[in-house]
Structure 1
Amino acid sequence: MKRLDAYIARNVMGGTLLAMLVLGGLDTLFAFIAELDEIGRNDYGLIQAVVYTALTVPRRVYELFPTSVLLGSLLSLGALAANSELTAMRAAGVPIAGIVRSVLRAGLMMLVVVVLLGEAVAPMSEQRAQTIKSQASGEEMYRGSAGLWAKDGQRFIQVGVVMPDLRLLDLSIYELDAERRLSSMLRAGSASYQNGAWILRDIERSHLGEAGVTGEHVDEERWPRLLAPELFSVLAVEPRQMAATTLAQYVTYLRENDLDSASFELAFWMRFTTPLSSLVMLLLAVPFVFGSLRTGGAGQRLFIGLLIGVGFHLLNRTLNHMGLVYGLPPMLSATLPTLIFFAVAMLALRRVR
């Protein structure tokens, strides 16, 4: 049985890898073509566009993984069915449940790798890509492990994260005097750009002087000048690009400050449902290869796979947006598409003979 598990796993993994190379290659190519419009903006040239696009590949692989698993398993298992290998396995006494178990084991091994890629590699890679693009585009900013740093005269500004709606979280401002000595420090829980000015909230300010350090707390301040909001457009972190741990931290922060956290909660739950949906795609592939696709060609299997993948994607996007618009629980919006397709897969498997 171990040899059979290894044989099925090798085929499923090989088909998934092939599908990923095709889908990922096309997605990366289209992304690079889109970046060509940015070439010529200050120092942003062809090399920077290539590096930027390459650094976004881990995120693209993570997002395309469920679709790649579906297409790869349909093609690989379909080929085994067409060659009567699955029929021979069943004739040798291997039940449908045994084949499904072997397929899911292969899926779990791939899942571990992809989750590590999406949680550890992709966020750092995206951060580095945005830094390269901003620096090449002439933005006076640096983005590193300590967050975003910017300089404005004698003022140094550090931002923990830039949200898509131009809200800054965990803001620190350091001001130097004429002799370039630290004169004051300010920490703000958040800052948002409204009506031509920055509104800083939950402020802790410290003044450094010869008499010592004095501090004060201010609930809210209006700053007409901080940084041009256009500088942050390329650095805004989209929820889908953040790791689950980071999302959990900022969901907690938003809740504690009575701010809308629905989109970030949805992104948090999707960090779990996206990889798990790949296992559902594997379950969906098995009934097809034992049924109508047993004698079909690769083109037919590919067409069926695309239909299922597009259907899952559309249902997922629709329920996600409906959840945000109508105030549905983010966990329900994120998990419902996967649960629906899981139920369909289980019903289909029960009908396989």
Structure 2
Amino acid sequence: MKILDRYLAWAVIGGTLLTLGVLLPLLGVVILADELDAIGVERYGLAEALLFMLLSLPRYAYQIFPIATLIGALIGLGSLASRSELVAMRAAGISVWRIVRAGLLGGLLLAMIAVLLGEVVAPLAEQRGVELRRQALSGNVAQRTPDGFWAIDDGSYVNIREIRSGTSLRDIFIYRVDPAQGTLIATHAAGARYRDGQWMLEEIARSRVSAAGVEVERIARAGWDSMLDPGLLKVVVADPHALPVWGLYKYIRFMSINKQDSGVYEVAFWGKVVHPVLTLSMILIATPLLLGSSRSTGMGRRILVGVLIGILYYLVSRTFAYLALLFGMNPFLAAIAPPLLFISGALLLLRRVG
């Protein structure tokens, strides 16, 4: 029986790896197409875009892993069904649940690969890719440090402690030296927003340091003529889906201590926690579809069914994520509800098939 279990498990694993081998090059083309507009800016050329694409692929592989597992199980086990091997196993007394268990053994290995990819490989590759892209696009006038984002902006030195998005900043320091008057102008703004093609600073404290002393001026709001592009700032924002679980946990604690909304990061955190369960649930879904269909069903039809189920799952999971963000639904429930719904449906189908 162990030989049979390994045979079924490797059918699932082989189908999944084949699916990833087809989908990842297609995703690479899409990523590269998105970078075409940036090619030619500063030192960002085709070689840098290709490297950024390659370093981005591990994260996308992690995100599509459950769908690839579903399609892979349909392909791998479907090939056995086409050759009547699953029928022969049933005729020999192998139960449906034994076939499911063997498929889940392959799914466990795939889930471990997905966790390694999403928690170790993808964050490091993504961080490196974003850093290379930022350096190429900024022309070495910007740098990310533990003290925030630093940039040289038309003679001024800018330090941004928190980038919420490309168009929303918090805790900004601007330092400028005026050689003609021999003064240092230090400006601190609680926040800044990009609207109508211009930055607007909020809650400003401006200090002028000279030989005569220090003059402090407070302004509620003022325009900021800056060369910093929101597109450049977006590449240094911490994308919640690109962070590992422990990184998300620390970021959520940091935002909670500072009384900031961490809803997006909490949804991403619990989504990563339940990711292995999602990968296994896709095998549960694939098995009754194969056992309940005719062995003459073509491979193209099986792949189409897998893609449609994948799209349905994406829509359901996005709906629950929006419910968590907009209506305050518990992030854990929003993350675990879609896999549980699909597992329940798969178990009902397995009972009918069995």
Give the TM-score taking structure 2 as reference length. 0.80
Structure 2: how far apart are the matches of 1:241 and 1:249?
A: 14
1:100 aligns with 100
Q: Deviation at 1:274?
A: 3.0
Letter in structure 1 aligned against 2:348: L
Structure 2: how far apart are the matches of 1:340 and 1:229?
A: 43
Aligned length: 328
SS of the aligned residue for 2:236 comes to: coil
Structure 2: how far apart are the matches of 1:25 and 1:262?
A: 33
Letter in structure 2 aligned against 1:87: V
Q: Deviation at 1:235?
A: 1.7
2:10 aligns with 10
1:318 aligns with 319
Letter in structure 2 aligned against 1:252: R
Q: Deviation at 1:170?
A: 9.9
Contact 2:104 2:280 in 1 (8 A): yes
1:148–1:87 Cα change, 3 Å: farther
1:59 aligns with 59
Structure 2: how far apart are the matches of 1:165 and 1:264?
A: 17
Give the TM-score taking structure 1 as reference length. 0.80
**Deviations 1:222-261, CA, capped at 9 Å, x for gaps:** 9979993634122222211111111111211222222211
Letter in structure 2 aligned against 1:232: L
1:142 aligns with 143
1:163–1:156 Cα change, 3 Å: closer
Structure 1: how far apart are the matches of 2:176 and 2:69?
A: 53
Structure 1: how far apart are the matches of 2:146 and 2:350?
A: 47
Q: Deviation at 1:143?
A: 4.4
Contact 1:293 1:301 in 2 (8 A): no
Letter in structure 2 aligned against 1:26: L
1:252 aligns with 253
Gaps of 5+ in 2: 180-188, 205-221
Q: Deviation at 1:138?
A: 2.6
2:25 equivalent to 1:25: yes
1:68 aligns with 68
Q: Deviation at 1:310?
A: 0.9
Letter in structure 2 aligned against 1:125: A
2:233 aligns with 232
Q: Deviation at 1:141?
A: 2.4
**Deviations 1:36-95, CA, capped at 9 Å, x for gaps:** 121111111110110011110100100110110010100111111121111222233322
Letter in structure 2 aligned against 1:58: P
**Deviations 1:252-278, CA, capped at 9 Å, x for gaps:** 122222221111111111112333211
223-232 or 290-299, which deviates more: 223-232
1:107–1:145 Cα change, 3 Å: farther
SS of the aligned residue for 2:165 comes to: coil
Contact 2:166 2:233 in 1 (8 A): no
2:279 aligns with 278
SS of the aligned residue for 1:351 comes to: helix
2:133 equivalent to 1:124: no
Structure 2: how far apart are the matches of 1:200 and 1:7?
A: 66
Letter in structure 2 aligned against 1:321: Y
1:144–1:82 Cα change, 3 Å: farther
1:268–1:58 Cα change, 3 Å: same
1:47 aligns with 47
2:344 equivalent to 1:340: no
SS of the aligned residue for 1:38 comes to: coil
SS of the aligned residue for 1:36 comes to: coil
SS of the aligned residue for 1:43 comes to: coil
1:183 aligns with none
**Deviations 1:191-213, CA, capped at 9 Å, x for gaps:** 66588456699xxxxxxxxxxxx
What is the root-mean-square deviation of aligned Cα atoms in Å? 3.4
SS of the aligned residue for 1:137 comes to: helix
Matches within 5 A, 1:178-327: 193=193, 196=199, 228=228, 230=230, 231-327=232-328
Gaps of 5+ in 1: 179-187, 202-221
Contact 1:151 1:157 in 2 (8 A): no
Structure 1: how far apart are the matches of 2:124 and 2:150?
A: 16
1:241–1:33 Cα change, 3 Å: same
SS of the aligned residue for 1:142 comes to: strand
Structure 1: how far apart are the matches of 2:287 and 2:259?
A: 46
1:169–1:18 Cα change, 3 Å: farther
Quick one: percent identity of the two aligned structures?
Answer: 38
Structure 1: how far apart are the matches of 2:351 and 2:102?
A: 17
Structure 2: how far apart are the matches of 1:312 and 1:128?
A: 31
1:198–1:252 Cα change, 3 Å: farther
1:227–1:257 Cα change, 3 Å: farther
1:215 aligns with none
Structure 1: how far apart are the matches of 2:30 and 2:176?
A: 44
**Deviations 1:163-206, CA, capped at 9 Å, x for gaps:** 43666689999999x9xxxxxxxxx9x966588456699xxxxx
Structure 1: how far apart are the matches of 2:175 and 2:227?
A: 14
